[in-house]
Amino acid sequence: MKRIVLIILFIFALSSCTKLSEKAEPVKIEPKDNSVKLSSEDEVLAGLTLKEKIGQLVILGFQKDISEENLINYIKTDKISGFILFNRNYKNFKELYELNNKLKKLNTDNPLPLFISIDEEGGTVSRLPKEAIKIPDASYFGNLDDINLTEESGIIIGKQLYAAGINLNFAPVLDILSNKENKLLAKRSYGKDAKIVSRHGIAFINGLASRGIISAVKHYPGHGDTISDSHETLPIINIDCDTLRIRELIPFQTAINKGIDAVMIGHLLFPKIDDKPATKSQVFIKNILRGDLGFHGIALTDDIEMEGFLENNQSIEEAVIESFNAGIDIFVIAHTPDTQNKVLKALLHAVLEGTITQERLNESLKRIIIIKQKYELSDSMNMSYEEARSLINNNNPEAPK
């Protein structure tokens, strides 16, 4: 605990004292050429080929030994929406920076810039390299219950992601720790009280947003009231709709009210509410998330290679089409090229055959385009390597020079 307190004090010392707005809006980043005017989402959409449209529906991970040829294929042939990065993809900050610079340069001729995403919650789930400041788990901030401190943690993480060329963070966790035996989220959740989770979630989002980083909150509709891990199985959560609304949904509703742009849907089954897992459920995505909660942003899946995604001997192709028609916009496929190829082919064939309508496809594309434009994503790095390295080294005295 003493070490954690020292880290927290260090965060305070590094951070600005300026209080940020409660609204989760990104800092305005001036375009490099002020004469360039962004087209509307309809104009961008009209210029996309079917291949480009399908590619925007996936964010892919890759192994550490991936060839240059395969990286080029993801970007120039598959036209994918973006990448999710893991520690296996880089050994240090220099490699992370150079990797993102390469990915962005390869994407220059594509009509939409890349999402470069990461799971950077702090603490237990941290993907930043060793030079970065290590932020404590969400549980520490929830226990301390200091909103300013939580916002500062988001600012520090946001600065480092921005310097590295990352623009989308799969965080914070807005799950309420409803079941005290939930080991998966024991440290990753802000706590068992809906108001505390909501307050600290918004504070963390504000910190990220102040540095131009998109937050994707997770794991809607709530992974807290279970001892199961959706990486290994499909958790079954036996609560009714009334309990869901007065507990699990409160932090997500709060984030949506504040303007959150992306929500990650968990592979979770609530049999008293719907017989479909949330990632395949029109009830949870269309009716509750978009209808009742008023969410207009991007709905992403948790990694679909997790065991919780497939059920009842479904093929990956069948599961993805069902999920997309239920309202998912982007599939995260973090590991296996074969699965990634199957998903891309399945989505393409479903559109050509009419199983997925053009109207439904364009609905997701518009959401994706709007968010990429809102944050003015580009295929250029945000800083030179010297500036980025200086920021990391200045923030962390233990970082190698």
- Please confirm, yes or no, whether 302 is among the known catalytic residues: yes
The residues pairing with 59 across neighbouring beta strands, listed in sequence order, are 82, 332
- Please confirm, yes or no, whether 231 is among the known catalytic residues: yes
Q: Compute the CA torsion angle 144, 147, 152, 157 (nearest 10 deg).
A: 80
Who contacts 131 (Cβ-Cβ below 8 Å, separation ≥6)? 92, 93, 392, 393, 396, 399, 400
Contact 280, 321 (CB under 8 A): no
H or E element, residue 264: strand 262-265
Per DSSP, the residues of 133-158 read PPPPPHHHHHHHT-HHHHHHHHHHHH
- Whole-angstrom CA distances from 122 to 94, 127, 134, 223 are 20, 8, 7, 18
Please pick, among 231, 275, 292, 296, the residue that the annotation labels catalytic.
231
Contact 367, 83 (CB under 8 A): no
* Total number of residues shown for the chain: 401
Please pick, among 119, 175, 261, 302, the residue that the annotation labels catalytic.
302
**Which are the catalytic amino acids?**
231, 302
